[in-house]
Structure 1
Amino acid sequence: MNLIEVSNLSYSVSNQTILNDISFTLKKGEYLNIIGPNGSGKTTLVELITNLIKPTEGTIKINETNIGYLPQKLNLKKNFPITVKEVIKSGVLNTKLLSDENIMKWLKMMGIGELLNEKMHVLSGGQQQRVFIIRTLINEPSILILDEPTSALDPDFREGFNIFLKSLCEKKQITIINVTHDLSELNLKNTKVLYIDKEIKYYGDSINFKELEHGGVSHV
């Protein structure tokens, strides 16, 4: 059974087509990288999937309710006095996951175990991004939707994080949709690629896509 079904999805604003006739399916435990040039509609697509905006045409069916979503940009007011622990707890849906021990487990996993009680505004952009990633992951979602989650992360951590995401698919059967500009992420085995530029240019296996990579695709 498909966990996500996107059928003939289109979205327009003021007679301008943002997305046209997008269709794809994902089963439980599949990993999809969405790529495309700037302005190609990647963020619009995930906003449609997460029901933040409504399609002009087409349908989206999701056979799951526990969905984690990390948007591309998270607004954090300068000098707002909120701690790392408070940010993470604000996203916890299951009280069983609220313990400091559980939060510390995630902080250590993300390499920021010393920051539990730090104020968010004193953290670097990369550290803040790791906190928001934890806030998204801590609920152990069945579907994980990430819009450029590694853009603020250093290259070494980025590589390890991508491997960690892949392990969530393989070991916990979490279905992942990952919007990315980093084509090195397409080297992950047994993952899919959806390459869009307002419409679908390629949908299929990552390895096959890497073999076809030429003629403008490298400008993603």
Structure 2
Amino acid sequence: MANILLVLNISSLLPGKRVCAPSILKVGFSRVVQNFSTIKVTDNPADELVAVLNSNRTAHKSSALYSNPGLACIALQYIKAYQGDCGAVGGSDAKKPPDSQFAETFAPNCGVQVSSLSSITGRFLACQSKYPEPAEAFNHILIQDSKSLDILYSKNHTEVGAAVSGSDGGGPYFWCVLFSNGKANSSFALEGGEPKVSRPGCFSGANDVCSGANSWFHSIPLWLSAVAVVVTFACCF
């Protein structure tokens, strides 16, 4: 199965006009810094991804983003909406969940108060057959070109939520990062103060040990890992 990447910038949750121009990108540039030894994270690949992301932002003189568990839980629900269909992530057959699902499905499934939903200011979404470690996923899958760097370093973001999930205990593997401009103490507020944890999948900010993704990788047959083809697609809305 091919590696597939979708990078887009969304100004709000409200539907609007969009232009999509899928293309195969062959852009060479220096990889961003991945030193995050000073950031404490739990045994959770989604937390590790946020740590790498924030380390790169601060190295670029941008502010670190608040890791919002409500937003991160919604990122996991966003992944689940694809129902394991890697082909729907990017390319000519790319799809995305309707904006209405944020309020109608994603928020209730996470225990997020609908009235506290804030605008989504950017998103990274990727899917591939082989499970990568968080730093590899960030540097070689999610960050691909100048467009993704613009989203990463945008000053419009104030908080972030990340999620990672396999399908049926194995591949394909989805990585999703949602950015928002909400207020840390009031946006994506959780009923009872805790997000609803659902499996399979891990999301950031949940104070939850979630190392199952590493075991997902080991469950992939060796022949499948050996023949994996790396093809990247990008679509802008």
TM over 0.5: no
Query: Taking structure 1 as the reference length, what is the TM-score of the superposition?
Result: 0.26
Q: Pick the structure with more helix per residue.
A: 1
Asked which structure has the greater RCO (Cα within 8 Å, sep 6+), the reply is 2
Greater share of strand residues, 1 or 2?
1
